[in-house]
Copies of this chain bind each other. A is one copy, B any other.
Amino acid sequence: MEPILKGTGLVKRYGRVTALDHCDFDLYPGEILAVIGDNGAGKSTLIKAISGAVTPDEGEILLEGKPIRFANPIEARQAGIETVYQTLAMSPALSIADNLFMGRELRKPGIMGSVFRQLDRPAMEKFAREKLNELGLMTIQNINQAVETLSGGQRQGVAVARAAAFGSKVVIMDEPTAALGVKESRRVLELIQDVKKRGLPIILISHNMPHVFEVADRIHVHRLGKRLCVIDPKKHTMSDAVAYMTGAKVPDEVMA
């Protein structure tokens, strides 16, 4: 099978730090690929390079076999790649609904929408409420609340809801459950599996080994700015994975 998304020899330097050091990367259709690694290993940089948030200094990215080069995250989104960033990327003063639909607002039907370009707030709010309910973010009282008034976990939930609702080719999530409670994390995992059922491949960065092993089809182990190996969660133990990513053990095979 051809990878839907493929990176080869990606390099990204920040001043003197080489955050990505000739890193390779593959994502196959319909799979959940987990990316694990130490803090500062370069995982976020990798997915930023894929989603257009940073431009790699070297290397090539192929989407469905065609080379792509995103100048900004909007182009990546238009190509169907939807991302939850570690920093969440939300406008604090705007409402939850506004944030969910940022960049793809719904307009009123008829002349109000086409000529006067009026937003269809009721429709947007209804949709937003549904999506948040799916995630079990029940402590949010008001969909028109400004995002800055949400707790850390609630914000995370909104960001995940946004990516899951709109991704069409690839969904990328950078530590989506980091700030979430037990209940909310479980919902996100269910959501990830839902998304997979819709046929979309997912890249999941997470430090939570049990979750990773529970949902991932393959695990990309990132170390010192590059891919160390790819392992199969059914054939390796969590303990192995931890040992590889921290440098305690060196993997003998290279690909899963």
Contacts and interface: CB of A to CB of B under 8 A. Distances in A.
A179 B39 contact: yes
Determine the interface band of chain A, counting residues with CB < 8 A from chain B: 35 or more
B37 A181 contact: yes
Nearest to A208: B208
Contacts of A15: 149
Interface stretch (A74-82, A93-101, A135-143, A229-237): A135-143
B175 A139 contact: no
A34 interface: no
Interface stretch (A51-59, A102-110, A119-127, A150-158): A150-158
A31 interface: no
Contacts of A156: 39
A115 interface: no
Contacts of A20: none
A39 B207 contact: no
Contacts of A137: 39
Contact of A152 (B154, B175, B180, B246): B175
Contact of A38 (B17, B149, B181, B246): B181
Interface in A175-197: 175, 178-185
Nearest to A179: B178
A14 interface: yes
A71 interface: no
A112 interface: no
Given A39-B154, A40-B151, 19 more contacts: A15-B149, A38-B153, A38-B184, A39-B139, A39-B153, A39-B181, A39-B184, A40-B139, A40-B154, A41-B139, A44-B152, A86-B152, A87-B152, A152-B175, A178-B178, A182-B207, A182-B246, A183-B246, A185-B207
The list of the 4 closest CB pairs from A to B, nearest first, reads A39-B153, A40-B139, A40-B151, A39-B181
17 contacts: A38-B181, A39-B137, A39-B151, A39-B152, A39-B153, A39-B179, A40-B139, A40-B140, A40-B150, A40-B153, A44-B151, A86-B179, A153-B207, A178-B179, A181-B207, A182-B245, A183-B242
